[in-house]
Amino acid sequence: MKHDIRLLGAIAVRPAVLAVISEFETATGFTVAVKWELNPTVKQQIEAGESFDLVITNPNLVQDLTASGKVKAGSQMAFGRIAMGVAAKAGSRPLDIGSVEAFEHALKSAGSIAYASEGTSGAYFCSLLERLGIADEVKPKLVAVPGGLTAPAVGRGEAELGVVPVTSILAAAPEVMLVGRFPAELQSYIDFAIGISADPTDAEAAKQLAEFLMSTAVDDILAGKGVERSKKRA
């Protein structure tokens, strides 16, 4: 009897991973039971005793979980990175955010801006506002969205713009559109790594899933969902 493979992952990688999981299940006969949380919550739940076979979260968090004995030493692999982007409701007027000046102007001109109040992307965005010197002007417009649901909030009209990982924007189509990625000078890629549990239900199954997610065979699908891969897979 084959056990479910328990995958605990960050919300930002959800659309990309779900796009390829069915292929793995069909090829192997395994079923992957998935659970998605914000990056800090992934770590907290595992530290609190959450059972898992495979984890996908920020590399530093995988390192922490390895140090605490939750993730198998030597199992960490670089899954990919996701760019930060700006979302708007589908059908909105075109908006230029291609330069630092245009990006700042768009934020200052927006009536409201949604961001992830508890996630990695939200923390970076708030620090970026301080860095650009526009925090006092823009922060009163911010709409804090919990649970990584920033893009859908924009689709519902709860904010004019949203600042969120590109994967989440693409996944919210057709209600939401990608205005664009952050300008290169301001871009902060969110890195993700895979780690295998130090106490998996089925070690071989967990290894197979990790190898599948790291394989070049799924690169194009992941890219279409907003995950950029590195040629170096370790």
Report, in this order, helix, strand and coil percent for the chain, each rounded to 5: 45, 25, 30
Total count of domains within the chain: 2
Are 110 and 173 part of one and the same domain?
yes
Quick check: is 186 in a domain? no
User: Other C-beta atoms within 10 Å of 56: how many?
Assistant: 27
Instruction: Confirm whether 61 is domain-assigned.
Output: yes
| pTM of this structure | 0.89
Sign of the torsion angle spanned by Cα atoms 64, 67, 68, 73: positive
133: CATH = 3.40.190.10
Same domain, 41 and 68: yes
Listed residue (89, 84, 82) closest to 174, CA to CA: 89
If asked whether residues 175 and 103 sit together in one domain, one would say yes
Query: Does any domain span residue 108?
Result: yes
* CA 61 – CA 66 distance, rounded (Å): 8
The residues with which 87 forms a beta bridge, in sequence order, are 162, 178
CA within 13 Å, CB half, 79: 31
**Are residues 62 and 93 part of one domain?**
no
**pLDDT (tens digit, 9 = 90+) per residue, 157-191?**
999 999 999 999 999 999 999 999 999 999 999 99
Give helix then strand counts, H and E, for the chain: 10, 11
Q: Which positions ≥6 away from 191 have C-beta within 8 Å?
A: 58, 59, 78, 80, 81
Residues 163 and 207 in one domain: no
Residues 47 and 96 in one domain: no
Domain-located, residue 233: no
Q: Is the same domain home to 150 and 204?
A: no
**95 and 73 within one domain:** no
Question: Does 55 fall in a domain?
Answer: yes
Tens digit of each residue's pLDDT (9 = 90 or more) over 21-43: 999 999 999 999 999 999 999 99
Distance CA 124, CA 126 (A): 6
- Is residue 141 assigned to a domain? yes
Residues 151 and 64 in one domain: no
**Domain membership flag for residue 101:** yes
The stretches in the chain having pLDDT less than 70 are: 1, 231-234
65: CB partners within 8 A, 6+ apart: 43, 46, 47, 55, 71, 195
Look up the domain containing 92 and give its range: 84-181
Q: 137: left (phi > 0), else alpha (psi -120 to 50), else beta?
A: alpha
Q: Does 49 map to a domain?
A: yes
HSE (CB half, 13 Å, CA atoms) of 202? Answer: 16
Q: Are residues 93 and 169 in the same domain?
A: yes
Same domain for 156 and 220, yes or no, is no
Do 75 and 132 fall within a single domain? no
Nearest to 151 by CA among 139, 166, 140, 136: 166
> What are the residues facing 181 on neighbouring strands?
85
